[in-house]
Amino acid sequence: MPSARLGSILLIGLGACALAGSGARATGPELPETIGWWTANSNRIFPERASYPDATGIVTVIHVGGAVETRGHPFFTAIGRNGRACITCHQPADGMSVSAESLQARWTQTHGEDAIFAASDGSNCPSQPQQFASSHSLLLTRGLFRIARPWPPHGPDGHPILPQFTIEVMHDPTGCNLDPVYGLKSTHPVVSVYRRPRPAANLKYVTSYGFAFDPKSGLPLAIDPATGLRYAGNLLADRRARTLEEQALDALRTHLARYGPLDAAQMREIIGFESHVYVAQSADWVGGSLTDAGAQGGPDALAAGKAAVLDNPRDPQWAEFASWGHDSDPRETPAQRAFRASVMRGIGIFNERTFLITDSAGLNSMNFGNPTRNTCSFCHNMTRTGMDVAPGQVDLGTTNEPFADPAPDLPLFKLTCEAKYPPHPFLGRVVYTHDPGLALTTGKCADIGRITIQDMRGLAARPPYFSNGSARTLRSIVDFYDRRYHIGFTEQDKKDLVHLLSVL
């Protein structure tokens, strides 16, 4: 149970209010909001700091620069045609993403009438009867939105790209990829894949990079003609948007159903707001405050920190918690001391436990060899976030067979690489995948299943995990890596790693 001290810091800036969970229909023009849920056009004040309980402790969201008046603000206003705003799918209580648990509660409360369940991408397929929860099963159980990618792919200039492979639908549980209107053989062919929304926070890190080239391809990073800066490439799972402006325009068109132009002032407001939002765990139910006793957890350290490169290449990842490895704080309870020691062991495993990394495009294809021996921090190397300072996407096997976890509720595609092109470097000319990932942007066989590494902060607030929601819990993340790379974690190792993930 949370201590009284921890309970006292909940819901800072939100006031005292009971959770609304009766499921009764709204009598007014707007559906009721829970204490943590934001709807479009709420006209609430977005506080400078707000904290919310989650499964392992408290997640805190800060906006650098003070509270924000949201009336008329384009991030909080329904500026499209489906009643959504950006905030709809980037909920503060869910670490500026959205969790499956919150979605289920929202469905019950609003009888499925919230704008987040919009047919275009909040359902398994727009052609299904929208009043049934079963038509929104992937959103409700995995937290997945439908992402409709044009086929063949289109480049940044809008022109089609000649793909190196053909694509067949082998299993279509949602019915959308074979749908006559929304499917692969429709008038405007699209491939429907299903993905988690990435957090709209900590973007200083997301848009940073440690190299002027993509080490995963050996090519220099392209330059944005509007700014003269190089594209980081880490914004979305499949790199279909390269800048915050492109991401905003993509989201406005696909998720908010806005087809008209956005003026420059509105774009500045959206990017200005989300660029000042930071999210991280700030307290643990057992371990206590993550900012006391010298620790530097919480979002304030993220806001003040330097992005992209490590402060010192010799420093271990997650040095924020280094003080927990020193002499114990006399104020610690025995439970706190044991928990913090577990986190420190988890950091040691993360940074020092080597294992063989095999058959992972974007890693083993980078002149490191196959296999290559390294640690978790080999890829999760960006200071304070666990992202990758080397921009680019990696195939960890979360979507590609034979490594992906069983997913009978997701589509399964057969991609066949044409003989005149290089095959996938490890899976050959025929690849079965639930989501082709980067290949839906580039059309290249080598990119099948490659997905952008995500920010690891605020994980406890936004389950499930991985781009396809295949890891339902923090333990599931650890179990996947252990199976995928035959690491051989002990039960204690797994607990220590879960405790580490829970405080980020």
What's the pLDDT tens digit per position in 374-420? 999 999 988 899 998 887 799 999 999 999 999 999 999 999 999 99
Tens digits of per-residue pLDDT, 103-138?
A: 999 999 999 999 999 999 999 999 999 999 999 999
Phi, psi (5° rounding) for residue 190?
Answer: -140, 155
What's the rounded Cα separation, in Å, for the pair 77 and 335? 45
Structure tokens at 244: 């915050």
The answer to whether the bond into 371 is cis (omega within 30° of 0) is yes
Q: What is the pLDDT of residue 35?
A: 64
Read off φ and ψ for residue 192, nearest 5 degrees.
Answer: -95, 115
Average pLDDT, the chain: 89
* pTM to 2 decimal places: 0.91
What does the pLDDT read at residue 22? 25
- Interval 299-326 mean pLDDT: 78
Q: Are the beta carbons of 444 and 162 closer than 8 angstroms?
A: no
> Which helix (DSSP H) or strand (DSSP E) does residue 496 occupy?
helix 491-502
Query: In the chain, what are the helix, strand and coil shares in percent, each to the nearest 5?
Result: 30, 15, 55
pLDDT tens figures, 58-70: 999 999 999 999 9
Confidence tier at 305 by pLDDT (50, 70, 90): confident
How confident is residue 89, by pLDDT bands cut at 50, 70 and 90?
very high
Please state, in angstroms and rounded to a whole number, the distance separating the CA atoms of residues 2 and 121.
37
pLDDT the model gives residue 72: 96
Contact indicator for 271, 204 with CB cutoff of 8 Å: no
Q: Domains of the chain (ranges plus CATH)?
A: 311-391+451-502 (1.10.760)
